[in-house]
Amino acid sequence: MVRFPEGFFWGAATSAHQVEGNSHNDWSRWEEQNARRLAGQAEREFGRLASWPDIRVQAQDPANYISGRACEHFERFREDFDIAKELGHNAHRFSIEWSRIEPEEGKFDENAIEHYRQVVAALRERGIEPFVTLWHWALPQWLAQEGGVLNGKFPGYFARYAEKMVTSLSGVEFWLTLNETNVYTAHGYWKGIWPPGERSICCFLLANHRLSRAHKAAYAVIKKYVPSAHIGVAHNIIWFSRSRMKDYVWNCLFLNSIRGFQDFVGVNYYHSDRDTAVKTDMGWSVDPEGLFRVLISLKKYGKPLYVLENGIADSRDEKRAVFIRDHVRSIARAIAAGADVRGYFHWSLLDNFEWDKGFWPRFGLVEVDYKTLQRSIRPSAREYARIIENSGLDGEVG
Ligand code: BGC
């Protein structure tokens, strides 16, 4: 039997723009402008992937690329947290939608703040620890129009927003300032395939620099009000089996730039660079060994580690249960080898809006019928619940 330490956090993660619905931010604007193009190029992309006919049809429909009402989690969060509780989760990671809080520069919407107070309260009532992400990629439109993260004022704006939230959400101990700065800047500023569509190495470097400064400013603000807070970022980590250079640039550069300004390292792990036999619906390699390797390599930061995202697009729910079991086993091995891992958050609690891929990738422990918005718990979610209930897995660490 593999047992996890007492107090280990088990849960799932979501992000506001992907589940709440009815967002008005730079992403919702971009969707309107790009839905047709994305639908048009879907067939070409699917040529590379073994995908299901229903997925192909969905991917060629422009409506797939508009987040719209998404899962209506904004209205249904209590129902969704009831499910998380039923599944035994004792922690939940969600993000605050900045564009709701500060729809105009410097003007904060008290109703939106009250909404997130209720979200935190609903989690607490169910015995679920909130892990709050301040920024999961979407920007208020006024800020996007002012140049987004490239704006020299960005760190100051972000710190002001962080201050507003930390002083409004009392009792939150776990704060994630930024989600996956590497994925965001690579897509938006290097490859130019996400908003704001820049393709410039200078912009890419500047964006990373500003985000690093924004994190540090927010870290200082949160610590000022809640000295006991645990603050970090959620960083996308890939296991590069062959390239130390890629490992350094993708995995370490940003984390090194915020050294001294994080109380833990947050790891979002999905895949490695190896060509494995098992693939997700999106064609990503499934490689649990990589999670073990990255957790071991992150020991060098000398901080607790949290796996803040790990999941699989698997519309048939055929691979998810094994995926979870194998990745949890990798965490157990890493703990046995001295990595201080304190939590696992599956991506995601619900099927949701997968950015430029839209709704067809199915990442949820809970299936969402987008016509009726009905929720159905997938069998793999029950398997995960059993792992949580036993606080571990059958068998040896391996
Ligand atoms: C992001 C999520 C996304 C997930 C699956 C992560 O990179 O933080 O927003 O849905 O991966 O692609």
Token pair 């997130």 in the structure block, residue: 116
- Euclidean distance between CA atoms 342 and 18, whole angstroms: 26
CA-nearest residue for atom 12, ligand 1, is: 354
Band of pLDDT at residue 48, cut at 50, 70 and 90: low
% of the chain beyond a pLDDT of 70: 97
Residues with CB under 6 A from ligand 1: 15, 18, 179-180, 183, 236, 268, 309, 347, 354
Q: Tokens representing 50?
A: 């073994």
**26 close to 141: Cβ distance less than 8 angstroms:** yes
Token pair 């439109």 in the structure block, residue: 141
Tell how far the Cα of 11 is from the centroid of ligand 1, in angstroms: 16
pLDDT in tens, 79-99: 999 999 999 999 999 999 999
The DSSP 8-state label assigned to residue 49 in this structure reads S
- The pLDDT of residue 68 is 98
Asked if pLDDT for residue 392 goes beyond 90, the answer is no
pLDDT, mean of residues 153-162: 99
**347 close to 384: Cβ distance less than 8 angstroms:** no
- Euclidean distance between CA atoms 191 and 200, whole angstroms: 8
- The pLDDT of residue 257 is 98
Tell me the residue ranges of DSSP E strands in 298-340: 305-309
Q: Which atom of ligand 1 is nearest to the CA of 352?
A: 10
Band of pLDDT at residue 2, cut at 50, 70 and 90: confident
**71 close to 350: Cβ distance less than 8 angstroms:** yes
Tell me the residue ranges of DSSP E strands in the chain: 2-3, 9-13, 91-95, 129-135, 174-179, 230-239, 265-272, 305-309, 341-347, 366-368, 375-377, 392-393
CA-closest candidate to residue 270, choices 262, 279, 258: 279
- The pLDDT of residue 246 is 97
- The pLDDT of residue 157 is 99
Token pair 């055929």 in the structure block, residue: 318
Q: Would you state the torsion angle of the CA atoms of residues 273, 94, 34, 24, taken in this order, to the nearest 10 degrees? A: -160
- The pLDDT of residue 153 is 98
Band of pLDDT at residue 53, cut at 50, 70 and 90: confident
- The pLDDT of residue 52 is 83
Choice from 134, 355, 359, 365 to test ligand 1 binding pocket (greatest atom count within 8 A of CB) = 355
Choice from 134, 308, 354, 365 to test ligand 1 binding pocket (greatest atom count within 8 A of CB) = 354
Tell how far the Cα of 1 is from the centroid of ligand 1, in angstroms: 31
pLDDT, mean of residues 11-15: 99
- The pLDDT of residue 390 is 92
Band of pLDDT at residue 398, cut at 50, 70 and 90: low
Asked if pLDDT for residue 49 goes beyond 80, the answer is no
Tell how far the Cα of 163 is from the centroid of ligand 1, in angstroms: 26
Backbone φ and ψ of 147, nearest 5°: 105, 5
Q: Which atom of ligand 1 is nearest to the CA of 355?
A: 10
Predicted structure pTM score: 0.97
Asked if pLDDT for residue 308 goes beyond 70, the answer is yes
Average pLDDT, the chain: 96
pLDDT in tens, 261-288: 999 999 999 999 999 999 999 999 999 9
Q: Which atom of ligand 1 is nearest to the CA of 313?
A: 5
Asked if pLDDT for residue 291 goes beyond 90, the answer is yes
pLDDT, mean of residues 368-389: 98
**Could you tell me how many residues make up the chain?**
398
Band of pLDDT at residue 50, cut at 50, 70 and 90: low
Q: Which atom of ligand 1 is nearest to the CA of 363?
A: 5
Asked if pLDDT for residue 358 goes beyond 70, the answer is yes
The DSSP 8-state label assigned to residue 365 in this structure reads S
- The pLDDT of residue 394 is 77
Tell how far the Cα of 188 is from the centroid of ligand 1, in angstroms: 14
pLDDT in tens, 189-199: 999 999 999 99
Asked if pLDDT for residue 396 goes beyond 80, the answer is no
Within a 13 Å sphere around the CA of 376, how many CA atoms are in the beta-carbon half? 10
- The pLDDT of residue 44 is 80
- What three-state secondary structure class fits 237? strand
Tell how far the Cα of 353 is from the centroid of ligand 1, in angstroms: 10
Tell how far the Cα of 351 is from the centroid of ligand 1, in angstroms: 12
Asked if pLDDT for residue 56 goes beyond 60, the answer is yes
- Euclidean distance between CA atoms 3 and 392, whole angstroms: 5
Q: Which atom of ligand 1 is nearest to the CA of 180?
A: 8
- The pLDDT of residue 364 is 99
Band of pLDDT at residue 188, cut at 50, 70 and 90: very high
Helices marked H in 201-287: 201-225, 244-246, 253-257
